[in-house]
Structure 1
Amino acid sequence: MPIVEVTHDPAVPAATLQRLADALPHAVSLAVACPEEPYDGDLRPGDVDLRFRARGERDSGGLDVVVEVRSKWSAGRAESLQERCDRLRDAVVDAAGTTSVGVYLAIPVAAWAQGE
């Protein structure tokens, strides 16, 4: 289950944030799909966890939108990590309608457990 943090400039319109919220679950699932955890196109609760927050007055940065994705390491993900990140960036640019975006895709060694 990827955890997705979206930090955005406070001036980013609500409609843009909604487009991102609509597009990211699928785009992130494609970006992290691998033989160990294939994406079947059927997202269920808990498959992608989105978190949005406006950049605060003490935060630094200058991009309109920064998307950070964390998903657990697998060999299938590691072998093409930059390509996956680039494709996800392209999807974020399309949804946000701006090229002022950054995408960070991290695959640390981790574990995930979920209740019903």
Structure 2
Amino acid sequence: MKRLLVVDDEPQILELLELALSLEGYEVVTAPSGEVALEAAVTRQPDLIVLDVILGGMDGFETAQRLRGLTPVPIVFLTAMGTEQDRARGLALGQAYLIKPFRPAQLLEVIRAQLEAAAS
């Protein structure tokens, strides 16, 4: 079973993603901040990270930069930050960049593709 780390400071989003991804057969670990995500990335060793940009404290871009020093796993940004500049910055740090509101099927498709790419 693949383990996903979902990072978002909105409890409702964490709950929604945890439920949706669990129903698809993933083990889901959640983190409400970048700091907690860094710790979880080391202790829980996820296969993929779903990361919001807008977080209290350390933002998602800084979190991704620090994660790159800890783990090679794919990072999928899921955020309301939708400018081309934000997207370019996100894609420089991660493998995919999705804008909220999002379609769960789209997120699942991206997650599957990234997990397959990481396995090959």
Same topology, TM > 0.5: no
TM-score w.r.t. the length of structure 2 is 0.33
More helix by share: 2
Higher Cα Rg, which structure: 1
TM-score w.r.t. the length of structure 1 is 0.34
